[in-house]
Amino acid sequence: MGLVGIATEKILSSFSVFLFLTILLLAVARRISSSVLLFGLQSAIIAAEVLATAFQEKLPEIYIVGALVFVIKVVAIPRAFFLLTKRLKTVRDVKASTTPTQSVFIVAAIIYLSYAAVHSYGGAVHVPDDPLAAAISLILTGAFLMVSRKKALMQMLGLLVLENGIFLAALITTFGMPLVIEIGIFFDILMGLLLMGIFTFRISDTFEHLDVSKLRRLRG
């Protein structure tokens, strides 16, 4: 029970609070760049939690997973996003269809709901409440971002947040899935992002904007 041990304890018990902080900030963020930064921060926290879990549970392969998370979600993806924004040189705000205040309230409601959900379902899974609630609220926030932000990039980001939530849930409930599967999932995420990048280029080429809410030629 050294210093590291205490650190892991702390991380596992209280880091989820920071997650709530990130999503609240995401709700108010007006710039794509800042949202990306927040996402990176969020991923970093998750990575920390992964490592902590690995240390606590003595599961070597989870270290690898943690490393993957760090490399991909904290380093690679945000860089890719910055690249994209530079290349697309679009206006850089997120084009929210809800005012920041509304967003904050909604996210707060989400957090409350996820706690409620955890309390009602919690009996099933014997895990600390906060992280699970954090996971669920990440999922819901991701969904909320996708629905309320009109920029293609922000939809991608929302998807990633949602992804984070699922990943976190998996981690804290089952200490992650078998390694191969995890790797496959990461691969999928990367490919998906790559494709979405291609499509954002195509959208900006063909429509001269990135506002997905304006893509309404196909209906009925």
Nearer to other proteins, 86 or 219 (CB): 219
As measured in angstroms, the least distance from the Cβ of 181 to other proteins is 3
Between 6 and 105, CB nearer to other proteins: 105
CB of 1 to other proteins, least distance (A): 27
Q: Which candidate, 68, 52, 38, 71, places its Cα nearest to that of 185?
A: 68
Q: Indicate the residue among 16 and 155 with the shorter CB distance to other proteins.
A: 155
CB atoms within 10 A of CB 77: 21
Of 172, 180, 186, nearest in space to 53 by CA: 172
User: Is 14 or 199 the residue whose CB approaches other proteins more closely?
Assistant: 199
What's the rounded Cα separation, in Å, for the pair 114 and 95?
26
Shortest distance (Å) from residue 93 CB to other proteins: 17
Q: Cβ of 157: how many Cβ atoms within 10 Å?
A: 26
Tokens, residue 154: 């922000």
Q: Are 142 and 155 in contact (CB under 8 A)?
A: no
Residues forming contacts to other proteins in the complex (CB under 8 A) are: 97, 120-121, 124-125, 139, 143, 146-148, 150, 152, 155, 159, 162-163, 166, 169-170, 173-174, 177-178, 180-181, 184-185, 187-188, 191-192, 195-196, 198-199, 202-203, 206-207, 212-213, 215-220
